[in-house]
Structure 1
Amino acid sequence: MPELPEVETVTRTLNQLIVGKTIERVTVSLPRIIQRPDDVLQFAYLLEGHTFQKVERRGKFLRLVLDGLVLVSHLRMEGRYGMYRSDEPVEKHTHVIFHFTDQTELRYKDVRQFGTMHLFEPGQEFVMAPLNKLGLEPLDEQFTFEKFRAVIGKRATLIKPTLLNQAYVVGIGNIYVDEALFRAGIHPEVKANTLSDEQLEAIYHAVIATLQEAVEAGGSSIKSYVNGQGEMGMFQQYLKIYGRKDEPCVTCGTAIVKTVVGGRGTHYCPHCQPDS
């Protein structure tokens, strides 16, 4: 599933591709992707004649702002957007097409069919699902250590699933939690409320640094992720712990262990990330 760095990359790419384009009509071939309104014809009708103003990100969600409307989109497992000329063949698994007045199209393709779209009047999206219960934004300038400690430090749950909980901090994702905890030297199965302020601060800085580096690299193309121009992310080339089971740790040479924590495949170094 695309996490914060991948969604941030898609956000930046779509800002280059669709801002200023006006929707002539919308075609939907898989109605269940449209979550709000529940009438697909109304969804298409409401968007006609509107122009994209900007694209932003909230957690793992895309927030596509038009003049008078906001489209909130989640890519889920394998959703992707791409720009095409209107005369180009439509690929299999293309479920939503935004036809523009300049004879180009923004197409949403989703092999797994888990993606969602919600349409709101401006401002509604922040007080209604799916955005209304999201936690702190780790790349926002208002993401301070004090706020992070207040949200994370008192939890009696294991630190890894705590960091993955979107109600606390958004968008980190499985890959980036493993990388951040390795960078901070924290075992993934330590309970959050047993960590010292020094350890919590190490995690705080590691989360920010890991996500910033991933964004700069365009995200991680572990499976099928590409941005809106079909380009792969490159952060997977810099992974120090994730996906490296039994390989030597880059810091100490100890074999990397893979286990399951909170139902998620988890990588750590037994030497650099002691469990006590």
Structure 2
Amino acid sequence: MDWSKTKTIFIIVFSILNVFLYSLYVNRYNEEQEIETYAETTIADRLKSENITIKGLPAENQKTSYISGQIKQFKPTDFKKIGDQHFNIINGPMRTLKFEKPVSLKNIEDISLTEFMAEYVSGGETYKLWRIDEEKREAIFFQKINNRIIYFNKNAMVTLHWNKDLAVTGYDQTMLESLEAVGEKSTLFTAIEAIKVLYKKGLLKQDSKIDKPQLGYSTFAPLIETQVLSPTWHIHVVFVEGDEADYFINAVDGQVIDIQAKEDKELESE
């Protein structure tokens, strides 16, 4: 055996191996550097680079608890008597009320509908307008607690109905009562952290606009008589094409809640 040639071959092989291993090391090092650089780049910088703007970003480091409440069972006395107006009322967990004389409105907008709720609906001031559907001639209100909205809970909402003359013909109402905090307050995901969750999931497009993230509640555990509510971020996004979307993120664990997919089902079950 020609040891000289063998030695030369080993030297060449090891040289190639060393070059290969060094190349792997350099590539791995560069990848790690890129990851570190990406991690150090704040979400704000990334949003700015894609022209994703945020209006009215709430304060940081909020703390709050889960909330529990009882499903209210309405009684005949649980309504506002308005002059000589008569009502057809169905009681129970949902109160369906029809006016004998429809109540005229000046127009169908937030202010006039909110004023109607305060004047004609028992506890109406504890609800917040969510949506106006001109085609169906109905407006959806969600109940509030501590000035925070309870999103899409069929046991905490009001649906107003009106006719072609812009007069309210009646409403359907559900309500949670005895609302109180459950357990200790938790440090929540901040609004910007909730937005970061959406960004990482690819739900925010370039040139999108985020309009005033709101902290509210969504259903965590729907029991027969009791509801447990979890702190939830509502992120409303307007895309450059003009389309809009509402996203909901659990403010305790940072999970996106598929509440939009349940919207029609929840409302139709009323």
What TM-score results when the alignment is normalised by the length of structure 2? Answer: 0.23
Q: Which structure has the higher relative contact order (CA within 8 Å, separation 6+)? A: 2
In terms of fraction of residues, the more strand-rich structure is 2
